[in-house]
A and B are shown apart, each in its own frame.
Chain A
């Protein structure tokens, strides 16, 4: 999409141009993100416990990182667990438990400080503040904090009154939460439901008609049955809304596989548009049996527009859809050559590719970076759909896999996607389960490992960039280590730009309380 980074023009560099390039290199890494939103964004989740806030936070964060917007989740529960080493019971969450209230507020303030550090100093673009945030008081605190720091705010409220959904939610995620290490299911359920009751007492949902009409937010009602969207301010917020409207929670599986072995595969040639080899045809037959065996009801089948995937799908005997954007990465001048031929004919290019396989673009062709951009609509569609079988190609499959398995640009080009193997991805709790099915038809190995000696130079082919998928895992910061009676000194706050001293007051007053103990 848009990019502020300019490729070094061979035209004469005017002073404005170099100034601009300098400016840009100082700017946040995800320059595409800069275009989408000038100021950092704070997404604030709202909702009673077990409403899917963390699920949405994680998925949203994954998606935003994928499209190159550095995003991080700040989960208040994690901060609370650091502060209060062992959770005893729902009593902690009673709104008349003054001591606990103080701790909880302190945790929120610390988390917000981390948010500030991430957005202002560490190059983050979006922070997702994952907590209940059910009272107006808490939300006002957050809005003021954001205003002081010139962050935009977008609220995502999850409202659900379907008891079945809530129960299922609790079973899937809460039972295995660190809060309940050894409890049995019934008592977990019981304690958790009581916890929810504690929040209900003081819950003030967003009021679009009066109190909150000037806030930007989306209210997700009953797991996406209904949405209320208020005052979307810019492109990234509109993309967030679109994304949230497309994800769903019901179970479905995504099956990824490559086309059957092709004639070019046999010869070790890249790219091209050859047909299936004998073994490839055999694979297609096995695939058909696989589909039947697994009773894949209502399965959608997608292929690219290259012969080898189409021939594979044809064998299945079911309707399938062709997507041009699922076509294999275009190797440009190196199309239809073997690696040996490339090394001989274009030794420099060959070496450069090994140095930075993600950014490297084949002359006249594409890079993984280009591929990721082109695959975005497919990913959105996969989020929406039920059961889908995607018959594609090595590089394409690596990109899709990287998205669902939360890999970053570094790992992506080296993920293993062997021929004649089906990968089944099933979303579970906060991630994705992978099952590998080798359909037992021999094939050549087309995987080239990462070269051992990796020279860490700045990406040589960082031109015409779109964005870099980031992995969420690298980004989840460990909350500060402190426990009861052992508070670390309050972080030194710079003098606030606006006359709001609420945050520092808050921390100091709690500090005083504890030392009196």
Chain B
């Protein structure tokens, strides 16, 4: 994709995918996955460099109406309820305007039911007045099992139902859905033929896409068509300890140390124990991940895009050597580790771009084990755990540890499994002194121990 170069020109930084800001509007009855879609979409767009923010009208309503009593609030004949809900929507739209027009956001996701043509008309007028494009994402689902599963997973933990039992909550929520059903006007092929939208039916079994007008909308559609809610887990781990790891050198393409080989064996036992259904295994094209996978005795696939970050002129050096030969570079890296690009090498920012197809494929797949490298693993982790670019380069990804990510509700559960084989520590924290004039001692303050 477009990348930003090192100069600090802000114009070069932001990715301009669209001429004017886009307002994504969700449409659908409660418990149809609108918030799930909003959050995932927001995460993905931010990840590919498009400043995006979601605005959940339910949150506004909770601010306004401190205590939720019951579904009666949502009855269409509850005048006061209707008034408050309308106010909340307006308030949210105002914040949207603030974000897109003033704060430099590019996409805003307006997460609400928006089930009536009237409400959607209001939003479209608002967008027109402010020069925003509108794209609707409607989720239609009549499968009672899916809806029930949804309610259990997300609604029960919702602040609205803090003080109820599960049965009470479910009952109330079903009544709430009924309140919307009578006035629901789904997007219509004929009546809404001029509107840009995607209609997702039965959790992705079928899609109707109308009038996609630009690149960002086509990316959104492509992304939405690739995500699913089938339960599965993603396993992330690094290669076993390598010979260069032991020497404290970065990069290169060395083989496994004896402890690394030990780890591969333990990994094999771990997988056998876990009895994972239809597990796919991915590695990079570097020796150390391939050797790790070889020990597993099952088919695996190699991805060039999973290769470790290219450290350019610093490949195969120890941190001490980098400090000796390139003290300025070393300091600049500590100042902005995410954007810093090794001379003739890559930055974390470049890595993120290169990993986009991997992430898209991870979204499509079910159970996958990715055997990769420290910087790469940090990026993948940051995507799934919604970490910022500040946190990303300092995420802890120790050797010989498997992280199991299981999507749950609106996020991801993480379980860390240390496979009991000793290894060196390759994690280097940000030192206190990042000044280019700093002493060698200050620079090497956080370098982990090695041979």
Which A residues fall within an 8 A CB radius of B? 1-4, 6-7, 9-11, 14, 16-17, 20, 35, 208, 225-232, 235, 238, 241-242, 245-246, 305, 321-325, 373, 377, 381, 384, 464, 466
- Would B5 and A324 count as touching, CB distance under 8 A? yes
- Inter-chain contacts of B294 with A (CB < 8 A): 14, 16-17
**Would you mind naming 27 contact pairs between A and B with Cβ atoms under 8 Å apart?**
A1-B357, A2-B361, A3-B285, A9-B287, A11-B290, A16-B294, A225-B210, A225-B211, A226-B189, A226-B193, A226-B208, A229-B209, A230-B207, A238-B226, A238-B364, A241-B225, A242-B218, A245-B218, A321-B16, A322-B3, A322-B12, A324-B2, A324-B3, A377-B1, A381-B215, A384-B215, A464-B304
Given contacts A1-B304, A323-B3, contact A227 B207 (CB under 8 A): yes
Interface string of B277-293 (1 = CB under 8 A from A): 00000100101001100
Name the residue of chain B whose CB is nearest to the CB of A23. B299
Given contacts A1-B303, A35-B301, contact A238 B207 (CB under 8 A): no
- Inter-chain contacts of A227 with B (CB < 8 A): 207-210
Q: A6-B302, A7-B285 are in contact. List 7 more A-B contacts (CB 8 A).
A: A2-B361, A226-B208, A227-B209, A228-B207, A235-B361, A322-B2, A381-B215
- Inter-chain contacts of B215 with A (CB < 8 A): 381, 384
Interface of A is mostly: mixed
Given contacts A11-B287, A305-B5, A322-B5, contact A230 B210 (CB under 8 A): no
For residue B206, CB closer than 8 A to chain A, the reply is yes
The distance from the CB of B349 to the nearest CB of chain A, in whole angstroms, is 10
- Would B290 and A325 count as touching, CB distance under 8 A? no
**Bound-state Cα–Cα, A235 to B301, Å:** 15
For residue B350, CB closer than 8 A to chain A, the reply is yes
The distance from the CB of B215 to the nearest CB of chain A, in whole angstroms, is 6
For residue B42, CB closer than 8 A to chain A, the reply is no
Which of A11, A20, A242, A322 is the one whose CB lies under 8 Å from B299? A20
**Bound-state Cα–Cα, A16 to B3, Å:** 41
**Bound-state Cα–Cα, A7 to B304, Å:** 11
- Would B2 and A321 count as touching, CB distance under 8 A? yes
- Inter-chain contacts of B10 with A (CB < 8 A): none
The distance from the CB of B31 to the nearest CB of chain A, in whole angstroms, is 24
- Would B209 and A2 count as touching, CB distance under 8 A? no
- Would B302 and A2 count as touching, CB distance under 8 A? yes
Which of B3, B206, B290, B350 is the one whose CB lies under 8 Å from A229? B206
- Inter-chain contacts of A9 with B (CB < 8 A): 287, 290-291
Interface string of B156-168 (1 = CB under 8 A from A): 0000000000000
- Would B303 and A2 count as touching, CB distance under 8 A? yes
- Would B206 and A464 count as touching, CB distance under 8 A? no
- Would A245 and B205 count as touching, CB distance under 8 A? no
- Would A230 and B350 count as touching, CB distance under 8 A? no
Question: How big is chain B's contact interface, by range?
Answer: 35 or more
For residue B222, CB closer than 8 A to chain A, the reply is yes
- Would B208 and A228 count as touching, CB distance under 8 A? yes
- Inter-chain contacts of B353 with A (CB < 8 A): 324
**Bound-state Cα–Cα, A275 to B267, Å:** 52
Q: Which of B330-387 contact A (CB under 8 A)?
A: 350, 353, 357, 361, 364
- Would A226 and B302 count as touching, CB distance under 8 A? no
- Inter-chain contacts of A381 with B (CB < 8 A): 215
- Inter-chain contacts of B5 with A (CB < 8 A): 305, 322, 324
For residue B221, CB closer than 8 A to chain A, the reply is yes
- Inter-chain contacts of B291 with A (CB < 8 A): 9, 11
For residue B421, CB closer than 8 A to chain A, the reply is no
Which of B206, B212, B297, B301 is the one whose CB lies under 8 Å from A245? B212
**Bound-state Cα–Cα, A325 to B210, Å:** 31
**Bound-state Cα–Cα, A2 to B300, Å:** 10
The distance from the CB of B208 to the nearest CB of chain A, in whole angstroms, is 5
- Inter-chain contacts of A6 with B (CB < 8 A): 290, 302
The distance from the CB of A33 to the nearest CB of chain B, in whole angstroms, is 13
- Would A464 and B285 count as touching, CB distance under 8 A? yes
- Inter-chain contacts of A4 with B (CB < 8 A): 301-302
Which of A11, A208, A245, A325 is the one whose CB lies under 8 Å from B255? A11
- Would B350 and A208 count as touching, CB distance under 8 A? no
The distance from the CB of A38 to the nearest CB of chain B, in whole angstroms, is 12
**Bound-state Cα–Cα, A466 to B225, Å:** 25
For residue B305, CB closer than 8 A to chain A, the reply is yes
- Would A226 and B210 count as touching, CB distance under 8 A? yes
Given contacts A14-B294, A20-B299, A241-B225, contact A230 B206 (CB under 8 A): yes
- Would A238 and B208 count as touching, CB distance under 8 A? no
**Bound-state Cα–Cα, A246 to B219, Å:** 10
Interface string of B189-223 (1 = CB under 8 A from A): 10001000000000001111111101100100110
The distance from the CB of A240 to the nearest CB of chain B, in whole angstroms, is 11
Name the residue of chain B whose CB is nearest to the CB of A227. B209
Q: Which 6 A-B pairs have the closest CB atoms?
A: A324-B3, A227-B209, A229-B207, A242-B222, A226-B210, A230-B206
Name the residue of chain B whose CB is nearest to the CB of A5. B302
Which of B205, B211, B255, B287 is the one whose CB lies under 8 Å from A226? B211
**Bound-state Cα–Cα, A16 to B282, Å:** 17
Given contacts A226-B208, A230-B205, A231-B205, contact A3 B303 (CB under 8 A): yes
- Inter-chain contacts of A324 with B (CB < 8 A): 2-3, 5, 350, 353
- Inter-chain contacts of B2 with A (CB < 8 A): 321-324
**Bound-state Cα–Cα, A340 to B349, Å:** 36
The distance from the CB of A51 to the nearest CB of chain B, in whole angstroms, is 18
**Bound-state Cα–Cα, A384 to B214, Å:** 8
**Bound-state Cα–Cα, A191 to B214, Å:** 38
The distance from the CB of A87 to the nearest CB of chain B, in whole angstroms, is 38
- Would A208 and B285 count as touching, CB distance under 8 A? no
- Inter-chain contacts of A225 with B (CB < 8 A): 210-211
- Would A232 and B225 count as touching, CB distance under 8 A? yes
- Would B207 and A16 count as touching, CB distance under 8 A? no
- Inter-chain contacts of B221 with A (CB < 8 A): 242, 245
- Would B209 and A226 count as touching, CB distance under 8 A? yes
**Bound-state Cα–Cα, A229 to B201, Å:** 10
- Inter-chain contacts of A466 with B (CB < 8 A): 304
